[in-house]
Structure 1
Amino acid sequence: MRIADLHCDALSKLDRDAKLEWSAPSGKGLDVTAESLANGNIGLQAFAIWVPTGTPKTPESVLRQAALFHDKILSAQGMRLVKNGADVEAVLGPDASERGALLALEGADALRGERWALRLLHRLGLRMLGLTWNEANWACDGIMEPRGAGLTKEGRSLVAECEALGILIDVSHLSEKGFWETAELARRPFLASHSNARALCPHPRNLTDDQIRALVAANGLIGITFVPFFLQSRRQAGIDDVLRHVEHICTLGGANHIAFGSDFDGIDTYTLGLAGPADYSALADALLARHAEPLVRGWLSGHARRFLTDNLK
């Protein structure tokens, strides 16, 4: 069955190391490559632009990664830019014959409040935006910012403009206050592209039960991630831990709002059995051993397909 993955950091790696090759065999410095997507039967992969600490946070830094997305990712044979519902159907629908690449931004820091940069990125295909990455910026506080503030005036305006453009708001990494302000402000469904359940693993980056219920009530989407320390805080994380988070979210009414956001290329250590896109087959087998096939198909791609088709205008 085809897979949808809501988050990876291959673009940031490609930007930092010019020697890396998107077309090289998987394992040559990149988790996510053209080959590994094919091996994992990934129908849709979201590629996040992320400007790391130590790199100038400017619109130019963001646009450079957008250029890499077009020059490298989209140049692969059979790779389609996902901008709207028709594109989603072409890569995840029953007659899918292509693979889809969706452009995301992880952290609005480098936009520096410049709306021309946001609009240009939208023209280049940006369809998902995370307001911050852990820290505070001009738009909001991240979850690791000690003061725990929410959205700024400019951040509220950013949410409104993204919704007007058709850019999905991603609340992974956002402070709790920022989450609740976004939930109140949003007029369209929003998502957490790569976050798990805090009730099972008490990392601040994970979602509380109330946040999960709010995402479900907003008809949103939760991308369970494979980051080991978001899955398990006491021992080596494995595929069974992924299932625990899936099943916990189901108990909160979220069975029809679960997807996956691996965070491949954004992690240095891996969950046992999940080291790259090709390992989705092992996850699928583990899910099928405990749950009905229609549910598993929904988690692997069906819910992402519905959410994106409905909300990418």
Structure 2
Amino acid sequence: MKIIDLHCDVLYKLSITDELLPYEHADLLQANKNRLIAGEVQVQFFAIFISPEVPQKEKFMAALRQVELFHTHVLAPNPEMVHITDWKQIDQLGENEIGAVLTLEGADAFGEDLEKLKALLDAGVKLVGLTWNHANAVAHGADEPSHLGLTPFGYEVVELLNERNVLIDVSHLNEQSFWDVISKAKHLIASHSNARSLCDHPRNLTDEQAKALVDKGGHIHIVYYPPFIHKEVNPVTLEHLLHHFTHFSKLIGVQHLGLGSDFDGISVFVEGLHDASDTQNVVNTLSEQFTEEEVRGIASNNFKNYINKVIATS
């Protein structure tokens, strides 16, 4: 069953290794090309993520380096990988092609400079998460006090992203930033978040947030990281992951759900879900609780329906 996965950190991992890894088959890459093929991943989103340890003055160049790696190591040697610069390309992918979408995880990369953000958008970034877990010039992340929200500059950023019809990702925002963003954003999504009522972690969404996000036309993609699934057990299983899908399906409707693995950004794993080649294990587990049509929706069709609405309102 074809999969659309809204988050991986391949580009960051490529950028920090001593020797450049062959994207096709590097064992260190959980979402390498061969593993995407084995897992039937039809579209993979590739995040630009800059470590907080990088000095601010160097972060934009670090982001551009990851854009370069996307082109030189993901796309160029692998003609099956198709850079998605127009959402309509997803429905035009050939049987053996894999769509590759460039995203930004955290506004740290452009600091307080809208021109740098414009440059990243011009390079093909189609989804932007305003923070990682910490504060920046735009907003406050999940590890920050819940009452601190979007900054004045952050409202300018949201306005620009709205003008460009870019998806705004709420996955790493703290609570006040979340509420500030959904009050202003045009196209909303949570690329890799779970249910806080099942696992009380600041990276997860409360039921109130989930309902508000969907009421604003948003979409939620479930993440595979065990601490966001169940903090009290080891190992975390696919059945534990399934609970987040069933909870959200009852709360907001299964048609608003998708997948956001976080592969290459995680080092602990759900049992039976260690890299992209295991993705069909998620499909099989979902089939225990959902109809085939509903599972196909979670796997890819729900996002296609969501993005068609984005296209229609852009």
Q: TM-score scaled to structure 1, two decimals? A: 0.95
Q: Deviations over 1:27-55 (max 9, x none)?
A: x2110111111111111000000001222
The aligned residue for residue 6 of structure 1 is 6
Q: Distance in 2 between matches of 1:97 and 1:90?
A: 12
Q: Does 1:52 pair with 2:51?
A: yes
Distance across 2 between alignment mates of 1:38 and 1:32:
10
The reply on whether 1:21 has 2:21 as its aligned counterpart is yes
1:73 maps to amino acid: V
Aligned counterpart, 1:164: 163
- Aligned equivalent of 2:228: 230
Give the TM-score of the pair, scaled to structure 2. 0.94
Query: 1:153 aligns to what?
Result: 152
RMSD (Å) for aligned C-alpha atoms: 1.4
- State how far apart, in whole Å, the 2-side matches of 1:291 and 1:139 are: 39
CA distance in 1, matches of 2:65, 2:307: 26
Contact 2:82 2:100 in 1 (8 A): yes
Distance 1:253 1:215 in 2: 9
CA shift in 2, pair 1:147/1:3, >3 Å? closer
Q: Aligned partners of 1:143 and 1:124: how far apart in 2?
A: 27
Query: What's the counterpart of residue 267 of structure 2?
Result: 268
Judge conservation of contact 1:90–1:98 (CA < 8 Å) in 2. Answer: no
Question: In structure 2, what is the Cα distance between the partners aligned to 1:6 and 1:122?
Answer: 17
Tell me if 1:194 matches 2:192. yes
Q: What is the deviation of 1:25?
A: 2.5
1:72-110 CA distance string (max 9 Å, x none) = 11121211111223212123xxx6542101000000012
Aligned residue in 2 for 1:249: 248
Give ranges in structure 2 of 5+ residues lacking alignment: none
AA aligned to 1:132 is T
Q: Percent identity?
A: 37
Amino acid at match of 2:165: G
1:74 aligns with 2:72: no
The residue identity in structure 1 corresponding to 2:187 is P
Runs of at least 4 residues of structure 1 off by over 6 A?
A: none
Local SS of the residue matching 1:180? helix
CA drift at 1:293: 0.3
* 1:177 shift after superposition: 0.4
**Corresponding pairs, count:** 308
**8 Å Cα contact 1:191-1:222 kept in structure 2:** yes
Q: Deviations over 1:146-185 (max 9, x none)?
A: 3640000100110110111121100011010011111111
Q: Structure 1: how far apart are the matches of 2:160 and 2:174?
A: 20
* 1:302 aligned onto 2:301: yes
Alpha-carbon distance in structure 1 between the residues aligned to 2:123 and 2:18: 22
Q: 1:308 to 1:97 in 2, by over 3 A?
A: farther
Per-residue CA deviations over 1:236-273 (Å, capped at 9, x if unaligned) read: 21101111000000111231110010000001111111
Task: Measure, in 2, the Cα distance between the counterparts of 1:292 and 1:70.
Answer: 38
Q: Distance in 1 between matches of 2:23 and 2:141?
A: 34
Corresponding letter in the other structure for 1:282: N
The alignment partner of 2:198 has SS state of coil
Q: Which amino acid aligns with 2:202?
A: P
Q: Relative to structure 2, which stretch is displaced further, 194-203 or 58-67?
A: 58-67
Residue in 2 that maps onto 1:204: 202
> What SS does structure 2 have at the residue aligned with 1:226?
coil
CA distance in 1, matches of 2:85, 2:273: 28
What is residue 83 of structure 1 aligned with on the other side?
A: 85
